[in-house]
A and B are shown apart, each in its own frame.
Chain A
């Protein structure tokens, strides 16, 4: 991109950048060790704050002066809490599964001493001759970090860390370019909206720029409501400035004066970190009046969403910002023509906006070289469920599902068999093994009945019941339906009733046809994406796993042994080790007792099917099993 040289903007930014780099080098190139602790929500849930506290007290005790930073999520959530130590003479080393005891040892032996404690190493961040690095992991072949480039490497509460790593350079370049050129650049890059629909970002911006009406608004949609998705949370917690910079560039391109970040209130840490980031950006004149001494003025406000899934839909989100109940409205007019308060508005997803700064720095061609077909750039996925390496992954568009699940995610734990992958949350679908060679991009998955959605990927194994998962998603969309469209409001309710019946063994064959008819009607008769896609989980499970529905209906049997009404817990008498009392002691409702031969017996009347005895029974006996249908339990024990 040709930047018209503007001495004031360039020198204003140069000042900020040189100060930031000096600050960064003072810490990281000073010859002293530095400790990074991952304290995003995922780390905290695993006890990262205790680890942090231990490290600090231990350093104090030993009188060692060593900076400790709280950083975001490296993506290896399965190994949380993570600690990274950079010590001169060693590559930066990442330690996994750190607890307070390990943390204490790391400080004593590696920071104060000279033993890198190789037994706790997960991997080195750089290639070296000493320790295997992340680049040697099989997943490194596929991973390509664009949006997640800084996550886990910088302190999200320190703007200078971001600036020292090329942050806000994209903005400085953009401000020296004309808005039209930026829009062309974004169009050339092939960037499409990461929220699910995949509309061209450049075209959206252009439409908004060309619409008359002032003021114009930019809204960052961080209302990540999909159960099973946590990409936006991780990005906002780990690298909030990349999103803010993207918003400012978008605002400059379309000529907006105000912007909003709409974050779920259920993400308190993300809210806090964004708030800090906004304050710091204002202080450095990267937000506010005459940004970097240019003529462009823009400011961002943070809005906490109140927990309604439908507000992820752009018109509902706008209604919510206006202080109304978040109900979607008919489109067109689309928000770029008439959005917030009837003014031209661009609504972009977190990941879309975070992709913008690197495009400004590296050029459209660089971004366009990543990906395949009509889908350019990378896709960020939250891997969860029955998968070894749960966490965040970023791969180029066009990588196949099999590569993501088995190579990046290392497959299914405990030697279980892969059954299905649920993509796109409540709007997506469950794809079976036969669909694993599909590439992940905007268009391929739609044909198979699923969609990329915002990027939640939940892997299911042989213990997961497909009818139950369909019922679960429908229960979710039914509850979250705003109630505006009749088909969505009443149709999902009816489908849920049918699925409830089936999972309780009360379904009939005719129900399956009713489900299919209702699904088509809901799709046709709903205004917004929530209703239009709500039947997808049911339709895909019916398409690929119809036999499971039949087993529930005709045999009253749940093949995956999951549906509570259709299973019973049973202790195999010949496997029960009579001197062991593990199940009796742990049973939460005192339903297990010893019989005359001291074999343990479950009182089926009392049993609440909480699974505790099954996990408590030592693996060498494995005497507790689940039976379906419950009538399989020998009559003597009922």
Chain B
């Protein structure tokens, strides 16, 4: 194994250990009852940002249910994600009103600019892109939820504007760090 590859394996081992630790901490608040499964998953995802394999294994052992049952529930619901999130979350609303007012065009714009598909995270882990069925702000269509803040009337030019805003913040931070 090259030194670099070794370092990577070490990193992922560390990450796995941290994930296990965090999951165990989250589990402490819950009784060992099956009906707690979904609240547990929500809590763990809130802590880790996603549900890695090791977390699901821990949860299954804690509740005394087969691992496949945990995996089955995780993949059934839209809320749960299996890959790590980016620093900023982009959720494009594809409710009826948003779709009819061009939500699909907005989604295309995000895909093009971030160069990822829906459900993926950019390589630098800055952004993750996903769709949401409806956030209930139909009057502001087309809506994109950026870091839990719904943005109304997001058309391709506004996509560029939002990304530019993030870029400016990052540059300002860099400048500050230099000083």
Contacts and interface: CB of A to CB of B under 8 A. Distances in A.
A422 B99 CA distance: 13
A227 interface: yes
Interface stretch (A144-152, A228-236, A398-406): A228-236
Interface in B110-169: 112, 132-141, 143, 148-152, 155-157, 160
A162 B103 CA distance: 38
Interface residues of A, number: 62
Interface stretch (A2-10, A304-312, A356-364): A304-312
B96 A612 contact: no
B94 interface: yes
A42 B73 contact: no
A385 B97 contact: yes
Contact of A425 (B76, B77, B96): B96
Given A306-B80, A615-B155, A41 B105 contact: no
Interface string A1-43: 0000000000000000000000000000000000000000110
B102 interface: yes
A268 B148 contact: yes
A321 interface: yes
Contact of B108 (A77, A267, A422, A610): A610
A580 interface: no
Nearest to B70: A323
Contact of A588 (B79, B112, B132, B152): B112
A46 B95 CA distance: 18
Contacts of A313: none
A78 B139 contact: yes
B56 interface: no
B117 to A, nearest CB: 15
A42 B73 CA distance: 31
B78 A308 contact: yes
- Report, as a range, how many residues of chain B touch the other chain: 35 or more
Contacts of B139: 42, 77-78, 80, 384, 390-391
A228 B136 CA distance: 7
A135 B108 CA distance: 44
Nearest to A460: B100
Nearest to B132: A266
A482 B135 CA distance: 21
A609 interface: yes
B89 interface: no
A225 B140 CA distance: 18
A458 B160 contact: no
Nearest to A321: B35
Nearest to B99: A472
B108 A608 contact: yes
B38 A458 contact: no
B102 A611 contact: yes
14 contacts: A41-B137, A45-B137, A224-B136, A227-B96, A303-B38, A306-B41, A307-B133, A323-B37, A384-B96, A422-B96, A458-B96, A588-B156, A588-B157, A611-B155
Interface of B: 33-39, 41-42, 72-73, 76-80, 94-102, 104-105, 108-109, 112, 132-141, 143, 148-152, 155-157, 160
